[in-house]
Structure 1
């Protein structure tokens, strides 16, 4: 199937501007075909690839790393260990971030419970006052 840029934007949730940006940045693994009128024509494979790139960006992978990954894929067979290493490194970074977020979420959840309790008791006005600073509210 062939899709116009608007259709790809609608299917992926990315803007037309973002799709053009991805192309300029060299993030696609193949050239984007153009119709006789010069309009971009995307394939199902292009859509799958751009969805992968979007997920990698959402997880914080830098554009340079996505570009490196795309370069490796474009280079073809023989560099799979490099691709794997790149993905593993990003996976480890995400796992570390998730662990830190989990600790932060636990702290925030505790604080929410404290505030809910203090509001219900009518003692919220004393939160973080100099007389209660040692309580960690």
Structure 2
């Protein structure tokens, strides 16, 4: 039997407490708000396995239009766990990596305007990239890479 072809990765989802703060942070990074909506109903709960649910989502898109980040704020049911401060060696840890043009400028804006915190330090990988991890809005872990 032939394997079905993967067409694309549609989006990555992250649950947040404040959509407004998350939208502001990821907009500062360079993503654009594609849309914002409330999702509820029996069909949504069947997909997630949560039953009846009410969620507000915001879809952020990268400037090239190829990648999306779905930010979700659960109204009902209530949040039951918090994994935002898990270290990078925790099972199932979550990190999104973004390629940027000017790492120093992006760091300056995210740290200065949004209180992001550098996790370790900015390092250079061979002659290919300058890289770092930082804790952004709500402690979310993101990676930044600047091609050299």
Using the size of structure 1 for normalisation, the TM-score is 0.22
Structure number with higher helix proportion: 1
Structure of greater Rg: 1
Q: What TM-score, normalized to structure 2?
A: 0.21
